């Protein structure tokens, strides 16, 4: 593979980020039609929600692949490599295929004169690659919202709504009922829906839309339930119970009650999709799930955790689960946030959790400045150190962290991505953060 050719193709793709986010289906629809609608004719599961979409997609993928199906997985954003977004049987799209497809789609974009966005382009790329690879099932994560998201051109037989809370309010508004309508608009005519929506009024919005489309809807803690029965460092055990099925003592290598709930949604959807299934393969699929950057323990003594929490609901979940699952004396927080997030609320939650903070600016100019983050934290009388980068913040944390401390890196996928780069480099230099690696 000619790496320079791949880099050129990727440079073109990233140049499309300057066009920003434009919700709508016309551009993607035109391109897909030009290529013969590669997204149709393959069984599809579609996942929307404010938090938990990626984890749920990864759990479904692992179950269905273990059951013997060839899976296409499309998620966003990525951590370190664009190709993470497009995977077949959990292998990243190869560089040669990515390059060839980018060039092919670019030619179509220019011929049709379509002002395509980065996400629209990536979605078309995913559908074309899955078609080439002849996947048995495509598992698609919504990029933003649902109704006008490029992925919503799929014809999914199963839709999932993982959660409803406020995020991306500049696009989806601040009203939870409107947000619910946007996300629930992925529901297809005569489809099947699985949802985790505790709030009755919000659920009514989703249920009404499902009824109008003759879709059946099953709700977590109503038609099916999960019960977390054991927590260990790096994994948990839970039971899944529905009218038809009882699966006891299921192992999941992701921590947090919310991950057990995501697994419950994923299980309900997967069992319905499969129809007939082998319990041993279901268990193995759950045990083999991988999803990085979500309550991910990357070192021990001190415990170092990466989490992409970036809105009020996910930060509340993260802090609650870390307190339940990890024993620590002090918490050192490395924080980088986007300006368009609920910065004040996130800082308020973290101020009750962390003992010492390292603020960083990631992804400028979208990222909030480290100085402004420091100012907001100092209102809560928290000691704060401004750092030039995530790596310098981690080095500073390393210098003061004690073996029984917790170091939490959070606030944005960009913060976590920079941290992962740092830890990869440390390992390559044979100088890991700590000689004690996470338990496998």
Q: How far is CA 50 from CA 53, 160, 219, 343, in A?
A: 7, 12, 16, 17
Check whether residue 372 and residue 265 sit in a common domain. Answer: no
Check whether residue 114 and residue 246 sit in a common domain. Answer: yes
Q: Does a structural domain hold residue 436?
A: no
The total domain count for the chain is 2
Lookup: tokens for 381 = 């009388």
What CATH code is carried by the domain that includes residue 180? 3.40.1190.10
Check whether residue 49 and residue 93 sit in a common domain. Answer: yes
* Containing structural domain, residue 128: 3-287
Residue at a domain's end among 264, 287, 310: 287
Q: Does a structural domain hold residue 227?
A: yes
Q: What is the Cα–Cα distance from 224 to 347, expressed in whole angstroms?
A: 35
Q: Does a structural domain hold residue 438?
A: no
> What ranges make up the beta strands (E) of 25-116?
43-48, 71-74, 86-88, 91-92
Check whether residue 266 and residue 332 sit in a common domain. Answer: no
What CATH code is carried by the domain that includes residue 336? 3.90.190.20
Q: Does a structural domain hold residue 433?
A: no
Residue at a domain's end among 270, 287, 304: 287
pTM score, whole prediction: 0.93
121 torsion bin: left (phi>0), alpha (psi -120 to 50), beta (else): alpha
Q: How far is CA 72 from CA 39, 132, 271, 274, 330, in A?
A: 11, 11, 18, 16, 42
What are the pLDDT tens digits along the chain (440 aa)?
678 999 999 999 999 988 777 888 999 999 999 999 999 999 999 999 999 999 999 999 999 999 999 999 999 999 999 999 999 999 999 999 999 999 999 999 999 999 999 999 999 999 999 999 999 999 999 999 999 999 999 999 999 999 998 766 566 667 899 999 999 999 999 999 999 999 999 999 999 999 999 999 999 999 999 999 998 878 999 999 999 999 999 999 999 999 999 999 999 999 999 999 999 999 999 999 999 999 999 999 999 999 999 999 999 999 999 999 999 999 999 999 999 889 999 999 999 999 999 999 999 988 999 999 999 999 999 999 999 999 999 999 999 999 999 999 999 999 999 999 999 887 655 455 654 333 33
Q: What pairs with residue 195 in β-bridges?
A: 161, 219
Check whether residue 237 and residue 142 sit in a common domain. Answer: yes
> What ranges make up the beta strands (E) of 17-157?
43-48, 71-74, 86-88, 91-92, 137-141
């Amino acid at each position: 593979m000619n790496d320079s050719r791949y880099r050129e193709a990727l440079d073109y793709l990233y140049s499309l980020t300057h066009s920003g986010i434009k919700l709508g289906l016309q551009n993607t629809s035109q391109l897909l039609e030009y290529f013969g609608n590669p997204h149709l004719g393959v069984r599809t599961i579609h996942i929307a929600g404010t938090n938990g979409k990626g984890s749920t997609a990864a759990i479904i993928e692992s179950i269905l692949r273990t059951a013997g199906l060839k899976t296409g997985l499309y998620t966003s954003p990525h951590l370190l490599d664009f190709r993470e977004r497009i995977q077949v049987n959990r292998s990243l799209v190869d560089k040669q295929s990515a390059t060839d497809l980018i060039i092919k789609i670019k030619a179509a974009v220019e011929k049709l004169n379509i002002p395509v966005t980065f996400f629209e382009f990536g979605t078309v790329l995913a559908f074309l690659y899955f078609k080439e690879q002849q996947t048995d099932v495509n598992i698609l994560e919504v990029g933003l919202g649902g109704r006008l998201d490029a992925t919503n051109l799929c014809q999914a037989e199963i839709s999932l709504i993982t959660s409803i809370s406020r995020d991306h309010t500049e696009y989806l508004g601040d009203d939870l009922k409107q947000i619910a309508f946007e996300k629930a608009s992925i529901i297809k005519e005569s489809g099947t829906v699985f949802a985790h929506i505790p709030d009755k009024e919000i659920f009514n919005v989703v249920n009404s839309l499902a009824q109008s489309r003759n879709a059946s809807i099953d709700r977590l803690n109503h038609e099916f339930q999960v019960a977390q029965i054991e927590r260990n460092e790096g994994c948990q055990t839970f039971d899944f119970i529905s009218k038809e099925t009882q699966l006891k003592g299921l192992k999941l290598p992701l921590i947090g009650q919310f991950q057990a709930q995501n697994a419950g949604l994923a299980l309900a959807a997967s069992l319905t999709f499969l129809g007939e299934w082998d319990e041993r393969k279901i268990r193995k699929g759950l045990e083999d799930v991988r999803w990085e950057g979500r309550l991910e323990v990357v070192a021990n003594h001190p415990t170092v955790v990466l989490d992409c929490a970036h809105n009020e609901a996910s930060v509340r979940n993260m802090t609650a689960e870390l307190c339940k699952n990890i024993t620590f004396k002090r918490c050192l927080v490395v924080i980088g946030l986007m300006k368009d997030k609920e910065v004040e609320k996130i800082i308020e939650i973290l101020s009750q959790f962390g003992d010492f903070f390292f603020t960083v600016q990631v992804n400028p100019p979208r990222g909030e400045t480290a100085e402004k983050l420091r100012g907001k934290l100092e209102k809560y009388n928290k000691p704060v150190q401004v750092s030039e980068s995530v790596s310098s913040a981690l080095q500073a944390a390393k210098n003061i962290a004690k073996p029984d401390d917790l170091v939490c890196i959070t606030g944005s996928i960009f913060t976590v991505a920079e941290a992962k780069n740092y830890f990869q480099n440390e390992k390559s230099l044979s100088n890991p953060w700590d000689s004690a690696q996470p338990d496998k």
